[in-house]
Structure 1
């Protein structure tokens, strides 16, 4: 694969992973410098952000599930 095409594939992968332009630029600079440890640090940092969002959303889902449970429980008691 051509070098520029490979760069574009990497950039697209980072975009698809939800990285912002600053993270993508930093990652590509690290890639050019050959600092793979820094690249991994950037990816791990972004992964932690994504995981935090997953946990936040899970809490929201749990709240909704509880409300549905309460409504269903009330409906059962009324019968």
Structure 2
């Protein structure tokens, strides 16, 4: 079992990764129940969500870069 200090660090890491309270609570529940596969699924789902956001923002950057290119041309 994980000690309380390690659990606090784990929770902080999840917060830093942008996880919401529901995700954190589910993760801790899976931790307590030793359901590593469920933990991994939860983290992968959050990772896909973050990556989707990155791609969405990246498209905006490309649009701005194109506009800058057109203005300088």
User: Which TM-score band applies after superposition, normalised by the shorter structure?
Assistant: over 0.9
Equivalence map 1:13-52=2 (5 Å): 13-52=13-52
Length, aligned pairs only: 72
* Structure 1 runs (4+) greater than 4 angstroms displaced: none
TM (norm. structure 2) is: 0.96
Runs (5+) with no aligned partner, structure 2? none
1:11 and 1:45 map into 2 onto residues whose CA distance is 17
**Structure number with bigger Rg:** 1
Runs (5+) with no aligned partner, structure 1? 74-79
Is 1:66 the counterpart of 2:66 in the alignment? yes
1:19 and 1:70 map into 2 onto residues whose CA distance is 39
TM (norm. structure 1) is: 0.89
